[in-house]
Structure formats: C-alpha cells, structure tokens
C-alpha cells in the first residue's frame, strides 16, 4: 500500500519529544542517552538495555526490531525512526527534523488501552540520528486478510477469515478507536496491516505516524464532526474516506475518517478484497466518492466460509458496511452504534478467536544458526558508534567505525580459541561503499561470526562490494562467494595471511543478489570477474557461515 508522504508537520515543533508536558503520563520512560554495543558471542547487538533479536518489520519510515529487556526478559518491539528526513528542493537537499517522530511520540504518550499498542520507552539521544520507540510486542503480527503471496491491492478473494474472526477483530478495533477518539486522537491510517495481534489474540491498533490530536482533546469529536486541524492527506489511499478524496471538502476532516477506514477494513476481512479499487489514484478517488458499494453474493460467500454464514448474518454484515461506508461523513454510523449493530451482537459467540501463527520464535531470529564451541569464551562487548544503528549498519563501515578497535577486540577473542589460524579476517576497506544495508549487515554477521567462533569459518565476498575490484577463482588461492553458485563448491581461500579450506557451504536462500547482478566474464570458465559499474553495481550479500571440517 502506498502511503502518501505528508509534506507539512502537523504538530508544532515544540512538541513533547523535547519538552515535558504536564499531561504526559510518567508511565513512559524517556532516555536521553543511547548506547549501542555488540556481543560477538551471541552475535547480537545491544541497545541500552535491550538485546536485539531480529527484525519484525520494515515500515515506510524505518525498521522495527524485536528486542529483549535484559533486566526483565520481556520482549519488546523497537521502532527505529530517522530523526531527520531529507527534502529536495531545486538544487539542494535539506536535512529537516522528521515531523512524524513528534507526531507519533506525542500521540502514543497519551495512549493506555488494551486495544492500542503501548509505548514503554523513548530512547532519544540528541547525538543519535535515530529515535527509538520501545513498544509492546505483538507476537502474532499484523492482521492478514489475503494470502501471503498476493498483493493486497490485487486481492480478489476468497476471504481467508471467517465472519466470526472478522467480527472479533473489528470488535477490538472499535474499542481501541473509541478510546483514541475520546482522547482527541484521530488515527488516520486504520487498515489491517496496522492492527497487530498479541500473543493472546487481542487486536491492537498500531502505527501512529500519521495520527493527529484534535484541538479539543478528550471531547467527543466524533459526534460533532467538526473540522479539525487543517492538514494535507496521508494514510493509505484505498482506505481514504470520500471526504479526503475531494478538494472541495479539503478541511473537513474528523474522526469519521477512521470509521470509514474501519468499514474498508471490515470489508477486506469479510470478503478478501478491497471495496474500492482502481488502476490509478484519480480513478480510485473517483470510485470512493461516487461508486456505490458492491458485495459478493451470498452464494459466493457460502462457497468459501466453512462456518455456514446464514442469510441474516450476511445481510447484517452488508447493512453494517453500508453504514460504515456511508459517503456522507455526517450520516456515517458512530462507534457506539457500531458496537450495538446486529452484526456485532447477534451472532457473536466468541467461538473462533483470531489465531494466527506466532511470529518466529525469538530464538530463530539469530542471524546465524551456529552454536558457540565450548572453547569459546564470552568476550567483551564491542562498543559501536551511536549512529551505527541496526537500520544503517552500512554507516558503521562507511563512516566512522573504528576498525582498529574492532580488530583489537577480535584479536583478543582469538586468543581463546585453539584454531585461530583458521580465521579469515576481512580487510576493513572491503566493506566500503556498500550501498545495501542488508548486504552490509550480512557482511557484518559473517565477519563477526568468523572471528567470534573460530572453529567456524566464514567466507566473504565483501571485496565484491567493496572499493577494490576482486575476482573469484574456484581453483585459485582466493575465492569469492557467489550466493547462487557456491553451494556445491569446494573452496580454498586465502585472505591476508590466513588460509582455510571448507567443503561445505551453507547458503541461505535469503542470500540472493542484493541489487543489480554483477556482470560476469563469460570468457573465463570457472571464473567470473565481478566488475563494478558505478555506484549502482553492488554485488552480493556475503555467505554467512561455513562449518569447518
């Protein structure tokens, strides 16, 4: 789904990210110092008191990581936001404070409800280019309403949820929305992917990046439908209310837009397709404003819903959808009315809670699935520069990472190992100019795995993506790792003074070419020279780990 970028800050710059306001709950911890470190033994990064276990999602505006509070063991989601955003003018790029951060923080600080994702802590170090929001972790991930392999925008049904599951989800969202609106918060981006499911199946509203506070907080803005802060549109077009699609009613926005988006969401859950769709934005807006609502027939529903939806339930569902997707915002159903609508009450038997599989077990979030050899002792954490956050490990190598320190720490580690000679130490310059974060991260993992656990060997093709041109030769004394072709290769590799041999290469399918494929030199069988072609030509991610024999 495309999110329209919001061009103007909606909250005053003096927002609460930097200022304390009396009405902000003290529940939320604000930490002004960020410390990043790396544990080579576990191969995990540590952000202040949180061990980073893996990636939960990549949003439009940054990454979300799974973390574990080292004191309490509690799992958390850590949303990483860029403090600055670049805006391009005619000839210059300006670095501006990212207004989304203030917005999201300001709104989340006010929220404390079972159906709203909770903010626990804000890590906001002025020295850091990132701001970290430590959030309640919803282990079952976002609400899914179409098959994994299908783009939501292309989904045409059948639905993957039963009517009862859809009802359970919407019931939780209505409670969450009622709370938000009572706090003067309009979410403005209600859609299934912003509804997260906790381990016990509770649905929680998340992602407040485009939310706003109405001028009159805590008043029942929904019933008044008063115009709110004048602002540009944002959110996800297919979920836009008609009043957002027309320039005539430009200023007239109220919490009724969330109710419309709730209607689009319910439609998706029930029928597995969007109610309004089109090939272009203009056509989509035209459909939202003018096209009458249309539904799959009852017979079609019966074909797919195994729970035998009755004709009454089907009719009630349609009736509720007509009321939620009422084009005139002042006639749109309220949340209180939604709660008591027959579709929500008459059939509710709680028989089918939403059960989606848990996101991967935290332990499987390890970047490398290797266990430390018994000879390997825990080594000191490596301090990382504050801006070498997980979202931009490339900067770790490209900008200000102190390679000498890193190697010193690594060397210290080597002394614990009986097989230090088998370690492949990469030349730091090889990491330079890596444009892809993923590639950099893999390199980083490879490097650290090879050095932290010396009975394991990593082979790297970092040279391929580095400044130095480097060619690979299966039979020579140096090798490059090709994420496609290597799996069966016997590799003899030397790098600097260390050499090692490996007979088995474990290649993850994820380790595919990162960006453009490198060109291959077809004239040299068994040998493919990687030629960099300007900045866009970066090669492969590194192979992570090879078991030594």
- Partnered with residue 494 across adjacent β-strands are 499
Q: Which is nearer to ligand ATP, 65 or 541 (CB)?
A: 65
> What is the Cα–Cα distance from 244 to 47, expressed in whole angstroms?
40
Applying CB under 6 A, which of residues 50, 120, 132, 137 lies at the interface with ligand ATP?
137
How many CB atoms lie under 10 A from the CB of residue 408? Answer: 12
Interaction of residue 77 with ligand ATP, rule CB under 6 A: yes
Q: Angle at the Cα of 144 (from 113 to 183), degrees rounded to 5?
A: 20
3-state SS assignment for residue 121 = strand
Q: Which is nearer to ligand ATP, 142 or 518 (CB)?
A: 142
CB of 511 closer than 8 Å to CB of 544: yes
Interaction of residue 153 with ligand ATP, rule CB under 6 A: no
Query: What is the 8-class DSSP label of residue 416?
Result: T
CB of 475 closer than 8 Å to CB of 460: no
Of 189, 207, 305, 394, the active-site residue reads 189
Interaction of residue 264 with ligand ATP, rule CB under 6 A: no
Q: Which is nearer to ligand ATP, 117 or 257 (CB)?
A: 117
Stretch of 138-146, 157-165, 247-255, 277-285 contacting ligand ATP, by CB under 6 A: 138-146
Interaction of residue 209 with ligand ATP, rule CB under 6 A: yes
Interaction of residue 99 with ligand ATP, rule CB under 6 A: no
Interaction of residue 487 with ligand ATP, rule CB under 6 A: no
Applying CB under 6 A, which of residues 56, 177, 354, 368 lies at the interface with ligand ATP?
56
Applying CB under 6 A, which of residues 9, 54, 141, 157 lies at the interface with ligand ATP?
141
> What is the Cα–Cα distance from 528 to 408, expressed in whole angstroms?
34
Q: Is 79 annotated as a binding residue?
A: yes
Q: Which of 190, 31, 188, 25 is nearest to 113 (CA)?
A: 25
Joined tokens for residue 191? 């859609």
Q: Which is nearer to ligand ATP, 120 or 347 (CB)?
A: 120
> What is the Cα–Cα distance from 54 to 339, expressed in whole angstroms?
38
Interaction of residue 57 with ligand ATP, rule CB under 6 A: yes
Interaction of residue 175 with ligand ATP, rule CB under 6 A: no
Shortest Cβ contact with ligand ATP: which residue? 59
Interaction of residue 228 with ligand ATP, rule CB under 6 A: no
Interaction of residue 176 with ligand ATP, rule CB under 6 A: no
Interaction of residue 193 with ligand ATP, rule CB under 6 A: yes
Q: Which residues, at least 6 apart from 518, have a Cβ–Cβ distance to it below 8 Å?
A: 464, 528, 530, 531, 532, 537, 539, 540
Site size with ligand ATP, rule: CB under 6 A: 23
Applying CB under 6 A, which of residues 4, 9, 30, 59 lies at the interface with ligand ATP?
59
Interaction of residue 67 with ligand ATP, rule CB under 6 A: no
Applying CB under 6 A, which of residues 52, 196, 301, 309 lies at the interface with ligand ATP?
196
CB of 491 closer than 8 Å to CB of 474: yes
CB of 512 closer than 8 Å to CB of 484: yes
Residue 319 annotated in active site: no
Q: Angle at the Cα of 241 (from 235 to 242), degrees rounded to 5?
A: 130
Closest distance to ligand ATP from the beta carbon of 6 (Å): 11
Query: What is the 8-class DSSP label of residue 208?
Result: -
Interaction of residue 85 with ligand ATP, rule CB under 6 A: no
Torsion angle, alpha carbons of 396, 399, 403, 406, to 10: -30
> What is the Cα–Cα distance from 88 to 94, expressed in whole angstroms?
6
Interaction of residue 362 with ligand ATP, rule CB under 6 A: no
Interaction of residue 124 with ligand ATP, rule CB under 6 A: no
Q: How far is CA 23 from the centre of its chain?
A: 30
Annotated catalytic residues are: 189
Residue ranges binding ligand ATP (CB under 6 A): 3, 56-57, 59-62, 64, 77, 79, 117, 135-138, 141-142, 193-194, 196, 206-207, 209
């Amino acid at each position: 789904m495309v999110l329209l970028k919001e061009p103007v800050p909606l909250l005053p710059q003096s927002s609460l990210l930097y200022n304390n306001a009396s009405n902000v709950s003290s529940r939320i911890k604000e930490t002004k110092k960020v410390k990043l470190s790396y544990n080579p033994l576990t191969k995990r990064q540590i952000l202040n008191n949180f061990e980073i276990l893996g990636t939960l999602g990549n949003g439009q505006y940054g990454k979300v990581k799974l973390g574990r509070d080292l004191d309490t063991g509690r799992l958390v989601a850590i949303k990483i936001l860029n403090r600055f955003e670049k805006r391009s003018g005619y000839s210059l790029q300006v670095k501006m404070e990212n207004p989304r951060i203030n917005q999201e923080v300001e709104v989340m600080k006010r929220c404390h409800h079972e159906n709203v994702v909770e903010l626990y802590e804000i890590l906001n170090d002025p020295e850091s280019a990132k701001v970290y929001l430590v959030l309640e972790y919803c282990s079952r991930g976002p609400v899914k309403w179409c098959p994994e392999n299908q783009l939501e925008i292309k989904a045409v049904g059948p639905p993957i949820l039963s009517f009862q599951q859809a009802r359970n989800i919407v019931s939780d969202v209505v409670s969450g929305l009622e709370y938000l609106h009572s706090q003067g918060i309009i979410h403005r981006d209600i859609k299934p992917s912003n509804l997260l499911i906790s381990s016990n199946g509770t649905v929680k509203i998340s992602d407040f990046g485009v939310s706003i506070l109405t001028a009159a907080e805590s008043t029942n803005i929904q019933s008044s439908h008063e115009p709110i802060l004048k602002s540009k549109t944002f959110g996800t077009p297919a979920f836009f209310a008609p009043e957002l699609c027309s320039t005539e009613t430009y200023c007239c926005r109220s919490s009724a837009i969330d109710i419309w988006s709730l209607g689009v969401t319910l439609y998706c859950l029930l029928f597995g397709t969007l109610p309004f769709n089109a090939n272009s934005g203009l056509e989509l807006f035209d459909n939202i404003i003018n096209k009458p609502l249309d539904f799959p027939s009852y017979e079609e529903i019966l074909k797919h819903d195994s729970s035998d939806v009755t004709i009454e339930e089907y009719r009630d569902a349609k009736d509720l959808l007509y009321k939620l997707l009422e084009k005139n915002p002042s006639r749109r159903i309220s949340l209180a009315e939604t709660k008591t609508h027959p579709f929500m009450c008459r059939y509710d038997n709680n028989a089918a809670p939403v059960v989606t599989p848990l996101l991967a077990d935290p332990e499987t979030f390890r970047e490398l699935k290797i266990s430390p050899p018994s000879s390997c002792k825990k080594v000191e954490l490596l301090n990382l520069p504050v801006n070498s956050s997980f979202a931009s490990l490339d900067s770790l190598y490209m900008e200000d990472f102190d390679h000498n320190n890193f190697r010193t720490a690594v060397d210290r580690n080597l002394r614990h190992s009986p097989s230090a000679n088998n370690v492949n130490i990469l030349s730091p310059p090889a990491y330079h100019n890596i444009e892809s974060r993923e590639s950099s991260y893999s390199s980083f993992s490879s490097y650290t795995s090879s050095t932290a656990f010396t009975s394991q060997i990593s082979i790297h093709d970092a040279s391929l993506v580095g400044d130095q041109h480097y060619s690979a030769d299966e039979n020579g004394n140096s090798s490059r790792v090709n994420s496609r072709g290597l799996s069966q290769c016997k590799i003899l590799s030397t790098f600097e003074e260390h050499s090692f041999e490996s007979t088995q290469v474990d290649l993850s399918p994820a380790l595919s070419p990162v960006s453009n494929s490198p060109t291959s030199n077809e004239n040299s069988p068994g040998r493919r020279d990687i030629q960099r072609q300007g900045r866009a030509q970066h090669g492969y991610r590194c192979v992570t780990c090879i078991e030594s024999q």
